[in-house]
Amino acid sequence: MNESSDYSLRESRPIYGNAGELEFPDWSGQLPHRSRVSNDAWLAYCRSNLAKIRTSPGYAEGRRQNGVSAEFRL
């Protein structure tokens, strides 16, 4: 994660009470609790990777599959 970004997303406080100085990285929602990384820090991290992601093979093709043609109604 840190190889592609200047942003550190390590938890700001330990998950477990007795874990001392241990800090655990956030694995993108895979923790069994809400992330302690702020949403803004997370979005800044995502944005910092945009330029690199766009050069990935298949990015443009994948993005074209994102749209949903059927109209949504409530």
Partner 1 sequence: MSLFEQLNCAAAPTRLRFLVIGGHAVIEHGFQRGTEDADILIARDDRDAWTKIVADLGYKLIRDGGAFLQFESPEPSQWDLDLMLVPAETFGRLLATAKPATLEGVAVVVPSLEHLLALKIHALKHGRGLRALKDTTDVAQLLSVNRIDPKSVWLRELFEKHGDMELYERVIRLLP
Q: Applying CB under 8 A, which residues contact partner 1?
A: 26, 28-29, 34-35, 37, 39-40, 42-44, 46-48, 50-51, 53-54, 59, 62-74
The CA–CA distances, whole Å, from 17 to 11, 13, 42 equal 13, 9, 24
Q: Based on CB atoms, which residue is closest to partner 1, 16 or 74?
A: 74
Amino acid (one-letter) located at 6: D
Q: How far is the CB of 42 from partner 1 (least distance, A)?
A: 5
Q: How far is the CB of 14 from partner 1 (least distance, A)?
A: 18
Going by C-alpha positions, the residue among 9, 58, 5, 59 that lies closest to residue 30 is 9
